[in-house]
Chain A
C-alpha cells in the first residue's frame, strides 16, 4: 500500500468522524482520481476506504475531500471543521509538509431524507 493511499484512508476516516458529515464521495470529477485509482490497482493496493484524494505536486501535498453534509448544522461550520481537522492531522502526522487543502460540499441532506439502503461502513477516526 502506498504512503498516500494510507494517508487517504486515515483522512477519510477522520473526515467521516466530523459532526455533520454524512458522506464522503470519491473525488470523481478528476482525471487524476481515475489515474490514481488505476495506479493503486496496478500496485495491488486496495483503494477501498480511501476517498479523500491525496496527490503530490513536487514538495506540496494536495488534499481534496468531496463531502455530503447534514443541514442540521450550518454548512460553513461543518466545512471549516473538516478543513481544520485535516490541517491538524497533517501538522501532527506530516510535520513540515506544505499542504493545500480543498473541501467541496456536493450534497446537503435535508430533514426527513432517507439515506442509502445499505450505506457503506464508516471507519472510525485514525490513530495519530
Chain B
C-alpha cells in the first residue's frame, strides 16, 4: 500500500505515473481491504474521496453481480471475468475527482462545488439501485464546469436475464434523473442508458434485486 503518513504525498501525482492506481491504491488492494471488513482502519484509503467512491461501488458490484452471474459463471466464466474486469477498471477511472462541478452559493467570495467523480458515483449508485441490472460505465458529456451548460449522461449497463430491457433502462434513467435533480444543479438534457450485456442467470427473476 502507498500510505501518506508522512504527509508529503500529492494525490494526482502518483496517478500520472501509475494510471491504474487510485490515490496510490489499486482496485485489487481496495477489494482486499473490503474483504477484510475495512479493518484495520487504513487512513490512506478512508481519507481518499476517490477510494471511498470506489469502495461503495465495489461493495454493490459484489452483492449484485454475484447474484446476477452465479448461474452463468460455470458456463461462460471467461466472458464474465472479462466483464467484471472492465467494470472494475471503469470504477477506478470514474472515482477520480475529475472536473469541479459548481453549485451556486449566493454568498460573496464563496465557491461551492461537487467533484465530477462524486457525481459519477451518484449516477452509478442510482442506476444500480434500479434492480435487475448493473451500471458498467458512466460518462458526463458536456462542460460540467459551466453553470447551466447542457450535459448529457451516458450510462452503459448490464441486465440479468430475463429482465425486460426497456423497463430496466427506464427505471435506471428515472432514478438517475431524480438523483441528479436532487443533488446537483446540472442542466441534464438527456440520460442515455444502453444495455450492453445480458447475463443469463438461470435463477434470476425480473427485478429480483429491486
Contact flags A105-116 to B (C-beta < 8 A → 1, else 0): 111111001101
Q: Is the CB of B38 within 8 A of A114?
A: yes
Q: Is the CB of B48 within 8 A of A105?
A: no
Interface size range of chain A in the complex: 35 or more
Q: A29-B12, A106-B118, A118-B41 are in contact. Are A83 and B110 (CB under 8 A)?
A: yes
Interface size range of chain B in the complex: 35 or more
Contact flags A2-44 to B (C-beta < 8 A → 1, else 0): 0000000000000000000001011011010010011001000
Task: Specify the chain A residue showing the minimal Cβ separation from B100.
Answer: A104
For residue A35, give the distance in angstroms from its CB to the closest CB of chain B.
9
Give chain A's interface secondary structure class: mixed
Q: Is the CB of B118 within 8 A of A108?
A: yes
27 residue pairs A–B, Cβ–Cβ below 8 Å: A23-B52, A25-B47, A26-B47, A29-B11, A38-B8, A66-B49, A75-B114, A75-B184, A76-B112, A83-B105, A84-B107, A87-B107, A100-B110, A103-B113, A105-B114, A105-B118, A106-B118, A107-B52, A107-B118, A110-B56, A110-B122, A113-B59, A114-B38, A116-B46, A117-B41, A118-B40, A120-B43
The 4 closest A-B pairs by CB, nearest first: A106-B49, A117-B39, A37-B7, A75-B183
